[in-house]
Structure 1
Amino acid sequence: MPKIDIHQHVTDMIIAQMEAGTPPWRKPWTEGGGAGALPLRHNGEPYRGVNILMLWASAEISGFTSERWMTFKQATDLGGSVIKGSKCARSVFYGTFEKDNQQTEDMTKDAEGKTRIPFAKCNNVFNADQIEGLPDAFYILPEPARDLGTRANPDLEAFFAKTGADIVTTSEPRAYYRPSKDQVHMPPIATFFEAARYYGVLAHELTHWTGAPNRLDRIEKYSDRCAYAFEELVAEIGACILGVKLGIGPEFDQSAAYIENWLEALKNDKGLIFKAASEAQKAVDFIMDAGGADRMCDDEAA
């Protein structure tokens, strides 16, 4: 079997969905699945980074509603059997291996002088919907998204306030992060048709906020790398992951110009979606920690 170029495989998958108008972070759940849910491994541990996008995309394409994914062997060990003819999806596994007396770029040496070489490989995984005989808990659908109406939600207001971000609200009908003032600006929540939409936009701008030099130092660090498209891609992916963690299921309607910029950047750099997803995950972790919230999915998986 020919070796798979993981970066190219993932990039091609994301580009195909974007060109079809369905980027996997925009609507990370099927019509029948209710609210969004982070994909989970067989043991309940949540996937992170680019694996979230890959499995969201696979679930959307195939219409899966379960949030659980596992290898053929894991399914068998749990007493299940993969339905004949089922096609696997792919997730990415990262690790390192040791090699003596070698040091090159992107490699590090440990105290014993051994070189640790990073690698990535594909795992073939199946959704629980493709597996028969698993315990009932594997087939439970995610909870539906909260209907927040158009009023502020006290719990979410408290969460975002606790992050320490300087969030300013005025009548100006624009949402943005201003690096020069380290300030997030939002229009009044009453001007949004849905509160979930408001908090989704706020999550987007707060993801930008994490990129300041005194936080994750992302905006300046990657300023020479398709800067605008890259940062907006990080913010949109981060906002959607954060929204799912908070139970608000955001859905964004970015302009054609945004998507055109993203497509051009992705086609020119097959590693870009990996980097954007990684930076988005760091931003979500930062916001969740700053807001004093436990990583909800991690706790549920324990």
Structure 2
Amino acid sequence: MSGKFDVCAEVTQIILDHLEAGVVPWRQPWDAGGAASLPLRVRGEPYRGVNVVLLWQKMVAQGYRSPTWMTYRQAGLLGGQVRKGETSTSVVKMDTYVKPGEADAVTGETGADQARRFMRAYRVFNVAQIDGLDQKFHAEPAPPRSFGTRADPALLAWLARTGIALEVTAEPQAYYSMSRDVIHMPPAETFEDGARHGGVLLHEACHASGHESRLNRLKPGMSQEERALEELYAELGSAMVGARLGIAPEFEQNAAYLDSWVKALRSDSRAVLRAASTAQRASDWLIGRGGLLDDPVLLAS
């Protein structure tokens, strides 16, 4: 479908509805016991960018356990039928068209063609909304990995492969120091469980991806709004990385961050699209350097 509604406004409103209710919409699939999985297209390729947000939030709202989505036509080609009364979910796709070069008024010569990008929307259904599909589409996802109360050696090895420095001291703060280019973490045993430790570590790694030697996103003297958006990038980016690694990140939500995000999104309907794109770049960079986890050793608490 061509998508005649305002894609940016619709995406932003979905996120605002959740944030204003005090909910981060890309976390709940794991709390509900689903797999730490990115939403998947019918052929198994993961969705990217803002589509991850759109589909995760629908999985939260409806309790879908399968990560697989498809169009009405794709369901029919696979022998399935979308159940009567089921509601589709909008996702977006970036397309390109070529604008012919304009002729010079004096010489008559035609300039170079210009490639232009635009967004279009189309609608998909989760396999839980479709009858008649092969059982492989309804397979129960594996439960998320539980780390216990100690740092997982495989996760620490993964971080080391990214080249991002880590220090652990008794200081009860977790943060990324841009000036020293190092992640600081409190001792793992001070976290309630290993999943929280892993989630916070991934959050700070997403911040570190913005260093000038990496994605060059972080700048000294950032405004309050820029800092709020950076937290949104790190929150969403860490969820994306966690999904790739098979980790179920859990964070204690800071209400001040939620309030800042709402204000930032209210002021700019395209903020969510940029946030998702920025988070995707951070996720791609971290996975590109660190790869996936190598046979993690699950440690008991």
TM-score after normalising by structure 1: 0.89
User: What is the match of residue 21 of structure 2?
Assistant: 20
Aligned length: 285
Partners in 1 of 2:261 and 2:209 — Cα distance? Answer: 20
Alpha-carbon offset, residue 205 of structure 1 = 0.5
User: What is the match of residue 208 of structure 1?
Assistant: 207
1:113 maps to a residue whose letter is: A
For the Cα contact (< 8 Å) 2:233–2:276, is it kept in 1? Answer: yes
Alpha-carbon offset, residue 140 of structure 1 = 1.4
5 Å-filtered alignment, 1:1-302, equals: 3-29=4-30, 31=32, 33-101=33-101, 113-220=112-219, 223=222, 226-293=225-292
Partners in 2 of 1:188 and 1:232 — Cα distance? Answer: 22
User: Larger deviation: 147-156 or 282-291?
Assistant: 147-156
1:138 maps to a residue whose letter is: F
User: What is the match of residue 299 of structure 2?
Assistant: none
| SS of corresponding position for 1:217 | coil
| SS of corresponding position for 1:34 | coil
Q: CA offsets per residue over residues 112-132 of structure 1, 9 Å max, x none? A: 922111010111110000011
Partners in 1 of 2:133 and 2:224 — Cα distance? Answer: 45
2:84 maps to a residue whose letter is: K
Structure 1, unaligned stretches of length 5 or more? Answer: 104-111, 295-302
TM-score after normalising by structure 2: 0.90
Alpha-carbon offset, residue 68 of structure 1 = 0.5
Structure 2, unaligned stretches of length 5 or more? Answer: 104-110, 294-301
CA 1:42/1:102 → structure 2, altered by over 3 Å: closer, same or farther? farther
Partners in 1 of 2:253 and 2:74 — Cα distance? Answer: 39
Partners in 1 of 2:127 and 2:3 — Cα distance? Answer: 27
| SS of corresponding position for 1:66 | coil
Alpha-carbon offset, residue 245 of structure 1 = 1.6
Calculate percent identity across the aligned residue pairs.
Answer: 44
1:234 maps to a residue whose letter is: Y
Partners in 1 of 2:125 and 2:222 — Cα distance? Answer: 38
1:124 maps to a residue whose letter is: R
| SS of corresponding position for 1:226 | helix
Alpha-carbon offset, residue 27 of structure 1 = 2.0
CA 1:102/1:39 → structure 2, altered by over 3 Å: closer, same or farther? farther
Q: CA offsets per residue over residues 183-223 of structure 1, 9 Å max, x none? A: 11011111111111111101000100000111101122994
Q: CA offsets per residue over residues 46-78 of structure 1, 9 Å max, x none? A: 001110000011111122111111110111111
Q: CA offsets per residue over residues 126-173 of structure 1, 9 Å max, x none? A: 000001111111111221111211123222121111111110111101
For the Cα contact (< 8 Å) 2:3–2:122, is it kept in 1? Answer: no
User: What is the match of residue 107 of structure 2?
Assistant: none
For the Cα contact (< 8 Å) 1:25–1:236, is it kept in 2? Answer: no
Poorly superposed stretches of 4+, deviation over 3 Å = 221-225
